[in-house]
Amino acid sequence: MPVRKIRGFTIVELLVSMAVIGILVALLLPAVQMSREAARRVTCRNNLRQIGVALHNYHDAHRLLPPGSIWSGRGEPFGAGLLPLGAFDRVPLGISPASEPDRLYANWVMLLLPQLEQTPLYEAFDLNHPVDDDANRVARRTGLAVMKCPSDTFGDTVYERALQDGTRGHTYARGNYALNIGPNAPCFLFQPNCPQGFHTGTNDLVNTNATLWGSGVGGFNVSARFRDFPGGLSNMVVVDEIRAGIDPIDPRGTWALGMVGASMTAVHALGPMRQEDGIVACTPLTLSLSKTALERMGMPCTDSPIPSDFAATARSLHPGLVHALRLDGSVHTVSESVDTEVWIRLHARDPDVLLSAGNP
């Protein structure tokens, strides 16, 4: 009786099969990653739509939009006459709470919480105290899903606001959406040769000024109304997508902190992802990570003579684009290569004034 031989795989056949499988996996992996990113983008856009509905409901209830940030007192004695209220952050620089109370109170996101179906969280804040007060410790470190874009891999890196001064415990949760207060230049209209600068209530920044606003939507102790936008709600960006800070001392993308870079964009006329952010922690970040590393990560920053938060542009980890919410509630994608003039027209209620004076 003949013996039946069972033929197996040869080494060559096995290696060929493994190579084919490897090629198929390599071909499928980008498609899977693209599919996942597409799903994350859908979530990101839906978050902005919810914020848009909440802003309209807030306007219906109050006949105005929330201010970008609420600050107490008048003037900015630590700004050397160069900074208005809203730019100098006392907590990371060690002035508050040791020498004086923090002057930063609620911001636009905190005021919008009831319209975002977050009434319990809104009630957990004591709006009669600064956001950094112990009374707000739990609320300010609460993660808020509607404020987080799932594409941002740094969204779970909390902000330690006092860590730059060596103290932990002043913790804040991250977010990825910021109120646009204007692509204006980092100067003030009362100064010579500054027709594209920011508005202030008075020109005495040290003692009497109590407001700051630009060509965008709201500002410090300033709210806007729908009727303030003659170009139409559909032509005005109210909220930009931003990235969460890449280090615990990096203030960018912090939803309960009413600072530029944390929950507001400003001085961003060059467009999305195309300029450096002016933030209080830039020097220690650069010393820790290097300027080259920050640029490689897409999170460059710049210093100012007085450490401050004064400039931030739209950023994202979506390849080549950011999302933006317009005042009519619609959400649009904006290419990182968008023309500068188009970007300014989308972010300024008086774009012809800014453009006629030259790009800020």
Torsion of CA 34, 36, 42, 47, to 10 degrees: -130
Res 20: pLDDT? 73
Res 35: pLDDT? 65
Output the CA–CA distances (angstroms, integers) from residue 30 to 18, 24, 180, in the order listed: 19, 11, 34
As a whole number, mean pLDDT of residues 297-316 equals 96
Res 22: pLDDT? 73
Query: Which has more pLDDT, 13 or 140?
Result: 140
Res 115: pLDDT? 98
As a whole number, mean pLDDT of residues 287-299 equals 97
Which residue type does 126 have? D
pLDDT band at 8 (very low <50, low <70, confident <90, very high): low
**pLDDT for residue 276 is more than 60:** yes
**Mean predicted lDDT score pLDDT of the chain:** 93
As a whole number, mean pLDDT of residues 22-49 equals 77
Res 18: pLDDT? 73
CA 275, CA 270: separation in Å to the nearest integer?
Answer: 7
CA 212, CA 11: separation in Å to the nearest integer?
Answer: 74
Instruction: Tell me the pLDDT tens digit for each residue of 86-142.
Output: 999 999 999 999 889 999 999 999 999 999 999 999 999 999 999 999 999 999 999
36 three-state secondary structure: helix
Res 15: pLDDT? 72
**pLDDT for residue 32 is more than 60:** no
Place of tokens 């933006």: 324
**pLDDT for residue 31 is more than 70:** no
SS3 content of the chain, % helix, strand, coil (to 5): 30, 15, 55
Res 14: pLDDT? 65
DSSP string computed for 260-283: BTTTEEBS-TT-TTSS-EE-TTHH
CA 238, CA 55: separation in Å to the nearest integer?
Answer: 9
Instruction: Tell me the pLDDT tens digit for each residue of 312-326.
Output: 999 999 999 999 999
**pLDDT for residue 218 is more than 90:** yes
Res 52: pLDDT? 98
Which residue type does 218 have? G
Q: Which of 49, 82, 111 is nearest to 239 (CA)?
A: 49
pLDDT band at 360 (very low <50, low <70, confident <90, very high): very low
